[in-house]
Structure 1
Amino acid sequence: MFSPAAVVASCVGFVLIGVLQALYGPAIPALREEFGLSPSAAGLGLSAHFVGGVGGVLLFDRWFGAIGNRRILGASYLLMAVGAAGFALAPRWPLALAAALLAGLGFGGIDYGLNQLFAVGFGHRSTAMLNILNAHFGVGAILGPALIGAVGAAHYPAVFLVFALVNLPLLLCLKGVRDRAPQPSEGAYDSGGVLGRSLASVLGVFVALYVLHVGIEAGVGGWEPTHLETVGYGAGAAATATSVYWLMMTVGRFLVAPIALRHSPQAIITVSCAGMTVCLMLASISELAPYAYAGVGLFIAPIFPTGLPWLHRAAPRARRAGALVIAASMVGGVVAGPALGKAIEWSGVEAVPLLLGGVSALCLAATLWLIRSTRSHSQ
């Protein structure tokens, strides 16, 4: 599916989408001042980005197989570049939101497209390669806020413009991408699978697993600083611990790549969900909380990329399955904030790790159900 240069370019592309997603938050102070926005209105920039992301996933899926992969990926990079430039130069907030939506369309196309192609394009190495690919997203998510911090939030337009320009050279590397994806019989997993009602159930539980685990990912990222401050840590220590959480998520994906060559996706995700649940429970002990949250980042890291090859094995002919779970993961990130906020209103901030631990236990239950269900149909 990919030449060596195209693999490197794809990893750079994932660094860029990680940067893009992480730029909106640090730019909020400058956006509020420039456009006279309330905090909630300024936060709509990231919401528009995610709405565009879901649209990009669905559009890529609709055109997948009908239009060559190079053409769709190229269009996605161009949409990201044009949207980022438009966000930087927009004279009014509605135009900036429209530009963020446009950039999100490209973001979703790259996110889904490369995940889909890596899931079927590397044979038995697909799980390892997906973890490496998604680890580069984490690299970008760490770099984004660092860039805004280095130049100052007031100079966010320059950062978005540079981001737009950096997208363009990647278009030259698309000739190394195979224009047609292999069919299920050509890929790593060419047997087994589930059918009929069982297929619908398996897809539904996969969607639930993705929604729930991304909800945990966003929940920890959003509420860890508040929880740590509530139980007695200083603001600086809480912010540092949260950065370590995101760093561990990136490190975890690099670490699991060689493990994925020797162990099945099912085994890796089971261990990940169990470890994540234990760490979240330990995070309710104030003395252990910062270290436990770092453990959550390490254990949650492989779930998103490792689940995709397992999904392709369980449902090799369900063409829309990958789009469904990736779009669901984005919805999970959007819904997590308000849902967790409501739960915290009646339980208190101290209960954050226990609430998330309960959700993590549901992830483990979903994983065990999927193992039993897909195994029974592939034997």
Structure 2
Amino acid sequence: MQTLPSPPGAAVRPDRSFSTPAVVASCIGFVLIGALQSLYGPALPALRQEYGLSPSGAGLALSAHFVGGVAGVLGFDRAFGRIGNRTLLGVSYTLVALGGVAFAFSPGWPLALLGALVTGFGFGGIDYGLNQLFATGFGRRSPAMLNILNAHFGIGAIAGPALIGLFGADRYPAVFTAFAVLAALLLIPLGGVRDRHPGDLPADAAANAAGPRARRTAALLTVFVVLYVLHVGVEAGVGGWEPTHLEAVGHSAAFAASATSVYWLMLTLGRFLVAPLTLRWSEPVIIAVSCAGTALCLLAAVQPGLAPYAYAGVGLFIAPIFPTGLPWLRRAVPAARRAGALVIAASMVGGVAAGPALGKVIELFEVRAVPAVLFVLAAVCLAATWWLARATRAAAGASGGPGSPLG
């Protein structure tokens, strides 16, 4: 995969993985994947009409996208460290461009699903690749930069449906094509991405280093996966079921939809706001406060009058967990590269499973139970964070390193 050479003035500092133009392009890349993930839902009415699909049949487009995303994360993890960073990102952007065009202009539904699958594969490569590089490429500023990067995902998630609403669902091919062109243009700044970072370890070396502490590694990784699956389940659960819950407790449909938009806006804003805090507070402290605040807000959402404002608070508090946890994971788990792929893939699975799982809870109880169920998940996230903080503090103390302030 060929990428253009770095333009003059775009040199990468020896202790960084990105030039300044490449950082900007990476943030635009996260706007791109955030928008792509959010486009399928608003396009469903047009897809059903064009291809004569049932609701569940049309919903397969998003499922194909997520299946491709998980495969992309795991597949690109296998190549990470063996193939240059520019090549991996270049292949990912190319797959998004090709898949987006195929989805937009396919003559039949099977080819459209294949386009969504290919787009998802590129999506997973971008998501994993940039998160992994930002987690290691900025020194102690990496948690701040990860929050800024992931905040741009939220900008895309807000912008995607807005564009479909502006142009109409029947114009979804033009919107998908525009984002495919953007993906192709993002190949240009890849010359500002360092092909190898001095701190990178080959995957085999990372795995071998973990050998003597395999049991501790397995325990830490398991709890990190639980934290990521459940917190993304809470995030997706609020986004998916907040409108239904608010309508059930007496709010209008229009108000419920607006409140849900505010939730996503607060989630995006929260990542920007926490970025400077990561330079003062450790990752365990930020994530513990985030989990506690999320749980308290969900408890408040049980009250109908407080629910819209409480959900906005959930968005603000839950925002930093995903990006802030990645640098902590890398330090805590010896086989960090494989661990990063696993938790990112697991978070995608958590997002997919949240909707059906909460739907089953509603069938068994009622929609009013949604915030209570999500509160339990957030409380488990807090317990997992507490356990991880104690475990990593004990390990750091045993090795003479600095410990976590929790515990």
Residues 224-270 of structure 1: CA deviation (Å, up to 9, x unaligned): 00000000000000000000000000000000000011100000000
**Which of 31, 48, 51 is residue 35 of structure 1 equivalent to?**
51
**Which of 28, 31, 45 is residue 12 of structure 1 equivalent to?**
28
Indicate the residue corresponding to 1:50 in structure 2: 66
Indicate the residue corresponding to 2:274 in structure 1: 256
Q: Which amino acid counterpart does residue 213 of structure 1 have in structure 2?
A: H
Residues 135-159 of structure 1: CA deviation (Å, up to 9, x unaligned): 0000000000000000000010011
Indicate the residue corresponding to 2:224 in structure 1: 206
Q: What does 1:1-379 align with in structure 2 at a 5 Å threshold?
A: 1-183=17-199, 195-379=213-397
**What's the offset of the Cα at 1:183?**
2.7
**What's the offset of the Cα at 1:285?**
0.3
Residues 81-125 of structure 1: CA deviation (Å, up to 9, x unaligned): 000000000111111001000000000000000000000100000
Q: TM-score, normalised by structure 1?
A: 0.97
Residue 287 of structure 1 aligns to a residue in which SS?
Answer: coil
Residue 195 of structure 1 aligns to a residue in which SS?
Answer: helix
| Rounded Cα–Cα distance in structure 2 between residues aligned with 1:249 and 1:120 | 24
Indicate the residue corresponding to 1:189 in structure 2: none
**What's the offset of the Cα at 1:318?**
3.3
| Rounded Cα–Cα distance in structure 2 between residues aligned with 1:285 and 1:360 | 17
Residue 83 of structure 2 aligns to a residue in which SS?
Answer: coil
Residues 21-75 of structure 1: CA deviation (Å, up to 9, x unaligned): 0100000000000011111111110110000000110111010011100001000
| Rounded Cα–Cα distance in structure 1 between residues aligned with 2:335 and 2:95 | 30
| Rounded Cα–Cα distance in structure 1 between residues aligned with 2:249 and 2:231 | 25
Asked if 1 retains the 8 angstrom alpha-carbon contact of 2:217 and 2:334, the reply is no
Residue 295 of structure 2 aligns to a residue in which SS?
Answer: helix
Asked if 2 retains the 8 angstrom alpha-carbon contact of 1:131 and 1:253, the reply is yes
Asked if 1 retains the 8 angstrom alpha-carbon contact of 2:81 and 2:200, the reply is no
**What's the offset of the Cα at 1:182?**
3.3
| Rounded Cα–Cα distance in structure 2 between residues aligned with 1:254 and 1:25 | 26
Gaps of 5+ in 2: 1-16, 202-208, 398-407
Residue 81 of structure 2 aligns to a residue in which SS?
Answer: coil
What RMSD, in angstroms, separates the aligned Cα atoms of the two structures? 1.3
**What's the offset of the Cα at 1:336?**
1.0
| Rounded Cα–Cα distance in structure 2 between residues aligned with 1:319 and 1:215 | 23
Gaps of 5+ in 1: 186-191
| Rounded Cα–Cα distance in structure 1 between residues aligned with 2:57 and 2:351 | 18
**What's the offset of the Cα at 1:167?**
1.2
Q: TM-score, normalised by structure 2?
A: 0.90
Which shifted more, 334-343 or 52-61?
Answer: 334-343
| Rounded Cα–Cα distance in structure 2 between residues aligned with 1:363 and 1:237 | 30
Residue 111 of structure 2 aligns to a residue in which SS?
Answer: helix
| Rounded Cα–Cα distance in structure 1 between residues aligned with 2:348 and 2:213 | 26
| Rounded Cα–Cα distance in structure 2 between residues aligned with 1:81 and 1:152 | 22
Asked if 2 retains the 8 angstrom alpha-carbon contact of 1:65 and 1:181, the reply is no
| Rounded Cα–Cα distance in structure 2 between residues aligned with 1:319 and 1:79 | 23
Indicate the residue corresponding to 1:188 in structure 2: none
**What's the offset of the Cα at 1:184?**
5.9
Once superposed, which parts of structure 1, at least 4 consecutive aligned residues long, lie more than 3 Å away? none
Q: Percent identity?
A: 69
**What's the offset of the Cα at 1:181?**
3.0
